[in-house]
């Protein structure tokens, strides 16, 4: 909506050319590709920013295909200042408005503010008691995650990057959420395993 309100008056007055509007959308697509598809911050992101900001500035100038003969320096400064001030104002509004929105009564009605502590029964973990130190067997290959069996019950488990073959003896070293972190139980005889 803001983009339509920005571009339509300039287009109707003959200031915004079709190629300037197209440059804006190409720049926006390049920024989206940089954020979602292309890793890092590289050529696509910089080109997208230059095209987007440049097109917003060029829309305000009465140039004719990059012919700035009839455009005064004051008009260029005014266009650059307007575009950058609008962007800076939008960023400031987003940060300060976002904080105020998070503290507003409307947002408090739709957001969950209470905590759900484990001591009151809020947990996705159905295990009772601790499993640290318990021994079992790798029910599947752990690479690094998989299933283990302890006391004839299956549990989700993972290692710190080690691969453990199916049927290997394991020992639980910690509990992380609903998963158990395990390692090979090398020093425990198989007969002593539960």
Distance of alpha carbon 192 from alpha carbon 194, whole angstroms = 7
CA 98: distance to chain centroid? 17
pLDDT in tens, 40-74: 768 888 999 899 999 888 888 877 766 667 778 88
In DSSP terms, 175 is beta-bridged to 180
**Helices 2-12, 43-59: inter-axial angle, 10-degree rounding:** 50
Q: Which two tokens stand for residue 166?
A: 């199916």
Q: Tell me, what's the pLDDT at 81?
A: 92
Q: Tell me, what's the pLDDT at 29?
A: 93
Q: Which residue positions in the chain have pLDDT lower than 70?
A: 41, 65-68, 118, 121-128, 187-194
Q: Tell me, what's the pLDDT at 2?
A: 80
Q: Which CATH class is domain 135-192?
A: mainly beta
Q: Domain locations in the chain? A: 2-105, 135-192
Q: Tell me, what's the pLDDT at 9?
A: 83
Q: Are 165 and 148 in contact (CB under 8 A)?
A: no
């Amino acid at each position: 909506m803001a983009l339509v309100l920005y571009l339509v008056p300039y287009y109707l007055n003959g200031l915004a050319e079709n190629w300037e509007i197209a440059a804006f959308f190409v720049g926006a697509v390049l920024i989206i590709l940089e954020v979602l598809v292309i890793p890092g911050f590289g050529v696509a992101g910089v080109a997208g920013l230059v095209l987007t900001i440049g097109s917003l500035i060029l829309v305000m100038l009465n140039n004719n295909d990059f012919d700035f003969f009839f455009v005064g320096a004051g008009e260029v400064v005014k266009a650059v200042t307007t575009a950058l001030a609008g962007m800076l104002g939008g960023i400031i509004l987003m940060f300060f408005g976002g904080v105020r929105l998070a503290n507003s009564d409307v947002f408090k009605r739709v957001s969950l503010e209470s905590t759900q502590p484990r001591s009151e029964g809020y947990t996705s973990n159905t295990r009772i008691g601790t499993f640290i130190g318990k021994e079992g067997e790798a029910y599947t290959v752990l690479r690094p995650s998989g299933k283990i069996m302890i006391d004839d019950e299956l549990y989700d488990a993972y290692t710190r990057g080690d691969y453990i073959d199916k049927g290997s003896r394991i020992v639980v070293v910690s509990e992380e959420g609903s998963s158990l972190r395990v390692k090979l139980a090398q020093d425990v005889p198989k007969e002593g395993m539960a």
